[in-house]
Amino acid sequence: MTALPSTLAQKLVARASGRSGVAPGEIVNCKVDLAMFHDSSGPRRLQPMLEELGAGLWDKSRVVLVMDHYLPERDEESRRIVRIARDWAKEQALPHVYDGQGICHVVVPQHGHIRPGMFCVGGDSHSPTGGAFGAYMFGIGSTEMLGVVVTGEIWLRVPHTLQMHWSGQLAAGVTAKDMVLHMIGRFGMNGGQYQAVEFAGPAVQALSMQERMTLSNMSAEMGAQAGLIAPDATTRDWLATHGVPEADLQGLDAWRTDLGAPLTRHDFDADTLAPQVAAPHSPANTAAVDRHAGTRIDVAYIGACTGAKLDDLRAAARVLRGQRVASGVRLMVAPASQQDQAAARDEGVLQVLQDAGAELFPTTCGACAGYGDTVGDGTTVISSTARNFKGRMGSATAQVYLASPYTVAASALKGRIADPREVLA
């Protein structure tokens, strides 16, 4: 019997459930290849539940713990939370612990943990980042994570696929962040609820891996369970560079959507896409940059898993090289990982940003998670983070706009929301 055409999502779920094929809407039980959680979502919640059950971890080699939310420890509460995580990791002899190395969604793939074909869960809503590598990865809560770390399994309703097909080519100064903000603006925060969003087309294939990670990450802002991109030569090269053995990079062509597979396709033209800005207080409040151009800002924040990877830092430096930020504007830069920060330093990118007036902050979730150096009352901020919900970055009276690192840097330079294409020209 000939197998029916399947989407990438169906293929990944079928493999995890041990079946030859699955159909949207079916309930299946899946074996988990990797469970990731951080200092906020992990040990402080899991440890007491595991002790109450008298249960242990099903496979420590498949568990990854990242300390990124409550670092650096600024008060007794943060010290307590991080201490719980460190003590538990030592007690369990966990082999994969990344303490202060950066944000989980960046650090985990940089250490080769996510590979095409895998089925993964994460204790954070932006866990769909793993989909950039052709893996099925989604965020779950602490109770679900308890079930996973004890049994190694989780049930799933097979999702329908929404394919976002991008033709054309992005202009200079326009990035994956602009693509995903545009899609969120079109479909809203629940436009992909409980579905698998797949990004495809020539404009997606032309993106670097870090840019693809931004797309998959922010599929969560559309309510999607997963944000998938079929692996290709770009994926293979990036993973090989980050320590994944060649044997694990065979057969990548299998992980793609078949012609005629059941999906809903939406078409976009990268050629006509302008830089995008999301106004307070939702990523769905998105419009082209000219809608908000001229709005004065107090803070420009380049940070988080969607806005401070090496490619993002390079973009900001391209705008700011040889320039100084506007008087009265605070430019905050928090690289997404130690690895990216070191590379940016070696390339001279960090020096360009600091020469322009940037303040360098730790490689943690930082202000994106409302922790550490957050924004104050009545502050107007333009940020490269994923969300601009009221109060998320600090004061509930702060007005936070979302944009790409290009647009954030251009706005810091002008002292007002600005189109980066004008600066680059």
Which CATH number describes the domain made up of 8-244+263-269?
3.30.499.10
Question: What pLDDT score does 74 carry?
Answer: 87
Who's near 327: CB < 8 A, 6+ residues apart? 415
* pLDDT on residue 373: 63
Strands of 263-269's sheet in order across: 226-228, 196-200, 161-167, 263-269
- pLDDT computed for residue 395 by the predictor: 83
Contact partners, residue 302, CB within 8 Å, separation at least 6: 308, 312, 313, 316, 331, 332, 333, 334, 353, 358, 384, 405, 408, 409
Strand-by-strand arrangement of the 276-278 sheet: 286-288, 276-278, 399-402, 380-383, 299-303, 330-334, 359-360
Reported as a single tens digit per residue, the pLDDT across 132-149 is: 999 999 999 999 999 999
Tell me what the mean pLDDT of segment 318-330 comes to.
97
> Do residues 204 and 175 touch, judged by C-beta distance below 8 A?
no
With the CA atoms of 128, 132, 135 and 140 taken in that order, what torsion angle do they form, in degrees rounded to the nearest 10?
Answer: -10
pTM, to two decimals? 0.96
pLDDT of residue 1: 39
Q: Count CA atoms closer than 13 A to 207's CA, side-chain side.
A: 31
Q: How confident is the model at residue 57 (pLDDT cuts 50, 70, 90)?
A: very high
CA 38 to chain centre: 14
Q: What is the pLDDT of residue 335?
A: 96
Query: How does pLDDT run across 348-388, given as a tens digit for each residue?
Result: 999 999 999 999 998 988 888 777 667 888 899 999 999 98
Evaluate whether 8 touches 254 at the Cβ level (below 8 Å): no
Question: What is the model's pLDDT at position 194?
Answer: 84
Q: How far apart are CA 270 and CA 274, in angstroms?
A: 9
Q: Distances from the Cα of 366 to the Cαs of 55, 263, 328, 363, 369, in angstroms?
A: 33, 38, 22, 8, 6
Quick check: bond before 72 cis, omega within 30?
Answer: yes
Residue carrying structure tokens 């601009």: 388
What are the extents of the domains in the chain? 8-244+263-269, 276-424
pLDDT-above-70 percentage for the chain: 99
Full DSSP string of 81-128: HHHHHHHHHHHHT-S-EEESSB-HHHHHHHTT---TT-EEEESSTTGG
Average pLDDT over residues 31-60: 95
If 0-12 CB within 10 Å is exposed, 13-18 middle and 19+ buried, where does residue 118 land? buried
Query: Is the model's pLDDT at 227 over the cut of 50?
Result: yes
Question: What is the CA 216 to chain-centroid distance, rounded?
Answer: 6
Cis peptide before 105 (omega within 30 of 0): no
Mean pLDDT of 416-423: 97
Q: 182-216 b/e with 16+ CB inside 10 Å = b?
A: bbbbebbeebbeebbbbbbbebbeebebbbbbbbb
Which amino acid is present at 275? P
Mean pLDDT, to the nearest integer, of 56-68? 97
Distance set, CA 23 to CA 33, 191, 263 (Å): 21, 21, 11
Mean pLDDT of 237-246: 94
pLDDT at residue 42 is higher than 60:
yes
pLDDT of residue 115: 96
Indicate the average pLDDT of the chain: 95
8-244+263-269 matches 276-424 in fold: yes
Point out the least confidently predicted range of 202-216, 279-293, 389-403.
Answer: 389-403
Nearest to 123 by CA among 42, 10, 188, 62: 42
Q: How far apart are CA 275 and CA 295, in angstroms?
A: 15
Indicate the residue type of 115.
R
Task: Please determine, for residue 311, whether its predicted confidence score (pLDDT) is greater than 70.
Answer: yes
Q: Per-residue pLDDT tens for 258-282? A: 999 999 999 999 999 999 999 999 9
Q: What is the pLDDT of residue 206?
A: 98
CATH 3.30.499.10 fits 276-424, yes or no: yes
The three-state secondary structure class of 75 is coil
State the amino acid at position 366 in one-letter form. G
The residues with which 330 forms a beta bridge, in sequence order, are 299
Query: Residue 366 has what pLDDT?
Result: 81
pLDDT per residue as tens digits for the range 199-221: 999 999 999 999 999 999 999 99
Q: Which residue has the higher pLDDT, 369 or 319?
A: 319
Residue 326 per-residue DSSP state: P
The mean pLDDT of 67-74, rounded to a whole number, is 91
* In the predicted structure, residue 316 carries a pLDDT above the cut 50: yes
Q: What is the Cα–Cα distance from 261 to 256, expressed in whole angstroms? A: 10
What pLDDT sits at residue 391?
A: 77
